[in-house]
Structure 1
Amino acid sequence: MNQSRRIMRLPEVISATGYKRSSIYLFMDRGEFPRCRRIGPRAVGWDSLEIENWVAEKLEGRK
């Protein structure tokens, strides 16, 4: 992974995690997934480093 920090949109987050939209938002509500940030009037995005770290933790078996 270790790419430069960037904004990931939902389709890319879905691809990186293997979870669909509803699961991602459910995990966010539970505090178990990185929060999205508003990047425009009708757009949100995720910090790529936060998503990469979350995926790495899951692969290592950590919560």
Structure 2
Amino acid sequence: MTKLLRLPAVIEVTGLGRSTIYAQIADGKFPAPVKLGVRAVGWPETAIIDWLNTRPSAAAA
């Protein structure tokens, strides 16, 4: 079972803000969350790590 990250953890790991995360989800550029309940969502940790690994690194710029 993979660990699920809630929004504050995703914000901390990615450095993105809440609005940016949801805008990128709408554009298909960020992994969609998994529903945990009526008002709760989480992101699989592996999906966030995979997304981070596909981003260009700052060192390459």
Is TM > 0.5 for Structure 1 vs Structure 2?
yes
| Structure 1 residue 5 displacement after superposition | 1.9
User: Which runs of 5 or more structure 1 residues have no equivalent in the other structure?
Assistant: none
2:59 matches 1:54: no
Q: 1:14 is matched with which residue?
A: 11
The correspondence for 1:44, drawn from 29, 35, 41, is 41
Question: Highest Rg: 1 or 2?
Answer: 2
| Structure 1 residue 60 displacement after superposition | 5.0
Q: Number of residues paired by the alignment?
A: 58
- TM-superposition CA deviations, 1:6-61 (whole Å, max 9, x none): 11000000011000000000000000000011101110000110000001111458
Q: 2:29 is matched with which residue?
A: 32
RMSD: 1.7
Normalised to the residue count of structure 1, the TM-score between the two structures is 0.83
Among all aligned residue pairs of Structure 1 and Structure 2, give the percentage whose two residues are the same amino acid.
Answer: 38
Would you tell me which structure has more strand in proportion to its own residues?
1
